[in-house]
Amino acid sequence: GGPSQAIEDGGEVQADGYRWSQTEEEVEMKFSVAQGTKAKYVKVNFGRKSLKVTAAGQTLVHGETGGEVAVDECTYTIQDDREGGRELCVTL
């Protein structure tokens, strides 16, 4: 199947500059960031119906969400990715 099949299976979908996956409870977005990126360089603005993610002054995503977000349950982390780089993982 296409993207809808991947979403139903909880698999990752490649989007413009990031990967994302969705379950019934949450959406997870993963952005590749520079090797030396630390949490203090990242700013994530969670809104009830919007999201803005910046890293080192560069906007990675900014726009409306597909539905309403429980802002107090949103988190983000920076971790090593599979290729030996770094990735920013945002959970809505």
Measured distance CA(89)–CA(21) in Å, rounded: 11
Q: Give 29 or 5, the one with higher predicted confidence.
A: 29
Measured distance CA(17)–CA(40) in Å, rounded: 21
Average pLDDT for 26-53: 94
Where b means 16+ CB within 10 Å and e means fewer, 63-92 reads eeeeeebeeeebebebeeeeeeebbbbbeb
Average pLDDT for the chain? 87
Bridge partners of 20?
13, 29
**pLDDT at 75 (0 to 100):** 97
Sheet of strand 75-80, all strands in order from the earlier edge strand to the far edge: 13-14, 18-22, 27-33, 86-91, 75-80
**pLDDT at 10 (0 to 100):** 58
Name the pLDDT band for 16 (thresholds 50, 70, 90). confident
pLDDT digits (tens, 9 = 90+) for 45-70: 999 999 999 999 999 999 999 889 99
**pLDDT at 5 (0 to 100):** 37
Taking the whole predicted model, whether its pTM rises above 0.85 is answered as no
